[in-house]
Amino acid sequence: MRLVVDNVDIILWSVDVNGVLTLTEGQGLAKVGVRPGQSVGKSIFDLYADVPEVGENVRASLAGEERSYTTTLRGRIFESRCSPLRPDPAGPITGVIGFSIDVTERDRAENERASLQAQLLQVQKLESLGLLAGGIAHDFNNFLTAILGGAGTARLQLPSESPARADLEIVISAARRAADLTRQMLAYSGKGRFEIRPVDVSQAVKEIASLLETTISKKVQMRLELAAGLPAIEADVAQVQQVLMNLVINGAEAIGDERGTVLVTTGAQDVDEGFARRFFASEIRTGRYVFIEVHDTGSGMDAETKAKIFDPFFTTKFTGRGLGLSAVLGIVRSHGGAIRVDSSPGRGSTFKVVFPASDQPAGVSPRTAVRYHGHGLALVIDDDQGVRSAARRMMKLFGFEVIEAENGRIGAEMFARHAGEITVVLLDMTMPEMSGEETFRAIRRVREDVPVILTSGYDEVEATSRFTSKGLAGFLQKPFAPDELAAKLAAALAPSK
């Protein structure tokens, strides 16, 4: 017993029938700042009057019960057990004997393990939902390519005074709005980055501020505290602004019909490992980050609500509001960033989003529409008949003859048969039998100089990451319209200088 008492964080104690301590031994006493024997002769009820579990269980044992309980003493957690003390089994109770074991570290480790397990389950759920969203968006982009391509081609062939042009404009506008939805779905899947360039976050906030002010309630004041001279981030500025819009609108809705404030702050900070762990579903590295912080003075959230806010279609409103914060999370993750949420009932909410800082200066990459007329034989390889049909009509309108293949294997065979005639190849990335990557390699083995334009519903970085640096003549994001295809063809087939 002496070996156990001197080498384990245990306290061995006993009291008489009046609750006066008659024994206090053990290494565990040092954890609560007491020496062995120091408390002998003192009432356990008086010493621990502020810990009601002690007196309650000692009295129960004096009445004949055995008790197990947990207490917190001076910030340490102890598991205790006490039993009636009977020197003569048939005689009266003469006191209580008990022991207490310090389990603070074990309890902390169990809590951390449970927290990590909960985070892992949340990440796995988000990954599964992301795969589903990405798959749906990929197929939907094929449908939209056929719609945009067909409507755009028809519009180009109609005279300007045709009454049908107005109907086509409605179709094209609706298709582009649907394309925005697929971008949100791709963002949620972590594959939704488009037109990546160095972006000044503060400038991006300024550009959308007036729109946000007209979107939220007049009772809600939006304040901006934007840092100047921030490092740029590598991002799609439209996606970053989508994040800001969702967070500001959510904050304004949390305030409701009351008067309140939504504060948008930007800045830069260094993130270490300890700080990184406080971000939601985060695997971000340490280093320099640029942040956008949105704080509202609204109703705040309890822990249960906060755990669900990134689920698709979850809402605290009467009706659903779409992808919402799940799209925000996807956009942030796809840019290598992370998000942190601080909220409690009655104290508002703060969403902090961080993006990795870039060493590139912020710039602008304007896009211009291109009118194009070409010639020659084009090979369109895509497993979706609607995409092939739309691409064929567009390319014929531009002056090309077109042949089609419904998968990579047939495309590679068709290219081999017509290698000397083919001027350009439009190649889908994701196909059955042979992937776009495998088909591309097969084409290159036959002929290395033919321009190949890769098409995909995913972003350019995601789509081209597995392709060799010397191969692709361009990348075309699905869904695409005639002018976008024309611009890629003009660039791919431009005479080399």
Write the pLDDT tens digit of every residue in 250-262: 889 889 888 999 9
Inform me whether the pLDDT recorded for 386 exceeds 70: yes
Residues in the chain: 497
Q: What is the pLDDT of residues 297-324, one digit of tens each?
A: 998 888 888 777 776 555 555 333 445 6
Element (H, E) at 5: helix 2-7
Looking at the structure, do residues 283 and 413 belong to the same domain, yes or no? no
How much is the pLDDT for 368?
42
How much is the pLDDT for 373?
87
Looking at the structure, do residues 388 and 336 belong to the same domain, yes or no? no
Find out whether 119 and 111 touch, Cβ atoms under 8 Å. Answer: no
Q: What is the pLDDT of residues 163-205, one digit of tens each?
A: 888 888 888 877 776 776 676 666 555 555 556 789 999 998 9
Residue 207 in any domain: the answer is yes
Residue 345 in any domain: the answer is yes
How much is the pLDDT for 321?
42
Find out whether 295 and 348 touch, Cβ atoms under 8 Å. Answer: yes
Higher pLDDT, 376 or 469: 376
pLDDT > 90 in the chain, percent? 33
Looking at the structure, do residues 474 and 439 belong to the same domain, yes or no? yes
How much is the pLDDT for 322?
40
State the helix-helix crossing angle for 237-255 and 164-188, rounded to 10 degrees. Answer: 80
What would the two tokens of residue 433 be? 């039998």
**How far is Cα 386 from Cα 389, in angstroms, rounded to an integer?**
5
Residue 264 in any domain: the answer is yes
pTM score, whole prediction: 0.46
Looking at the structure, do residues 414 and 451 belong to the same domain, yes or no? yes
CATH for 388: 3.40.50.2300
Looking at the structure, do residues 205 and 166 belong to the same domain, yes or no? no
Inform me whether the pLDDT recorded for 20 exceeds 90: yes
Residue 300 in any domain: the answer is yes
Residue 43 in any domain: the answer is yes
Mean pLDDT of 158-166: 83
Counted domains in the chain: 4
CATH for 15: 3.30.450.20
How much is the pLDDT for 314?
55
Looking at the structure, do residues 157 and 91 belong to the same domain, yes or no? no
Minimum mean pLDDT range among 3-12, 278-287, 433-442: 278-287
Higher pLDDT, 379 or 30: 379
CATH for 286: 3.30.565.10
**How far is Cα 469 from Cα 47, in angstroms, rounded to an integer?**
76
Inform me whether the pLDDT recorded for 226 exceeds 50: yes
Q: Which domain holds residue 312?
A: 197-356
Looking at the structure, do residues 350 and 432 belong to the same domain, yes or no? no
What would the two tokens of residue 390 be? 């739309």
Looking at the structure, do residues 262 and 313 belong to the same domain, yes or no? yes
Query: What average pLDDT does the chain have?
Result: 83
Looking at the structure, do residues 307 and 158 belong to the same domain, yes or no? no
**How far is Cα 224 from Cα 227, in angstroms, rounded to an integer?**
10
Domain end, chosen from 294, 327, 356, is at 356
Looking at the structure, do residues 430 and 328 belong to the same domain, yes or no? no
The one-letter amino acid code at 73 reads L
**How far is Cα 236 from Cα 7, in angstroms, rounded to an integer?**
60
Q: Is 277 exposed, middle or buried (0-12, 13-18, 19+ CB in 10 A)?
A: exposed
Domain end, chosen from 49, 70, 102, is at 102
Residue 109 in any domain: the answer is no
Domain end, chosen from 188, 206, 228, is at 188
How much is the pLDDT for 315?
55
Residue 352 in any domain: the answer is yes
> How many CB atoms are located within 10 Å of the residue 38 CB?
12
Looking at the structure, do residues 179 and 204 belong to the same domain, yes or no? no
Residue 366 in any domain: the answer is no
Q: What is the pLDDT of residues 317-365, one digit of tens each?
A: 533 344 567 778 878 888 888 888 888 888 899 999 999 998 887 754 4
How much is the pLDDT for 118?
73
Looking at the structure, do residues 389 and 482 belong to the same domain, yes or no? yes
Q: What is the pLDDT of residues 25-72, one digit of tens each?
A: 988 888 888 888 899 999 999 998 888 899 999 999 999 999 999 988
Contacts of 290 (CB under 8 A, 6+ apart): 201, 230, 231, 232, 233, 266, 267, 268, 354, 355, 356, 357
What would the two tokens of residue 34 be? 């007491």
Find out whether 83 and 61 touch, Cβ atoms under 8 Å. Answer: yes
